[in-house]
Amino acid sequence: MSIPLSPETLARARQAQLDQVAKAVDEGRLAPDIAQAMTDPHTSRWIAAHGFAVVDRWEDLRGPATGTLDVSTGLQRGEIPAQLPLDDKRLVREVYRAALASADADLQIQVLNPDLLIGMWRPGLTEPSIMRVWEQRFPQLPRTGN
């Protein structure tokens, strides 16, 4: 059984999180656009607490376009195998969703293929706040209005 928190306790916790994010930006440990996404009130609690990564350069994305994708254990969820045929669009979308939300930039570089990413870029691929950051950084991506 959980005990409900008072509005004051929730407000203090929210302010502490905002202060931590602002400090990380000031210290150069967090990009301002990612900080803004993390503090958006519509962002999930998980993203607000853990953040997410975005590659620095679009040109660095070198995931395979055909054949199979070697899926690291950090991106394997549910029925996603370690070797994923890229013609299984549904599971590829799940791996891309996981990579955008929880992979570091190095893993995103290995997994994400720029052409495949453009092809599946539509609302619902990942959280709107994450999509906004990617769209702001990379004009190659179609605008989703997120």
For the chain, what are the domain ranges? 53-137
Q: In DSSP terms, which residues pair with 22 in a beta bridge?
A: none
Nearest to 100 by CA among 126, 74, 79, 123: 126
DSSP assignment of 47-85 equals: HHHH-----S-GGG----SSSEEE--GGG--TT--SEEE
What's the rounded Cα separation, in Å, for the pair 15 and 20?
Answer: 9
Beta carbons within 10 angstroms of residue 140's beta carbon: 15
Would you state the pLDDT for residue 73? 85
Record the pTM.
0.88
Reply yes or no on whether the pLDDT at 131 is more than 90. Answer: yes
List the structure tokens of 110: 């290995």
Q: What is the pLDDT of residues 80-116, one digit of tens each?
A: 899 999 999 999 999 999 999 999 999 999 999 999 9
pLDDT number for residue 146: 65
Q: What is the pLDDT of residues 12-70, one digit of tens each?
A: 888 888 889 899 999 999 999 999 999 998 999 899 989 999 999 999 999 999 999 99
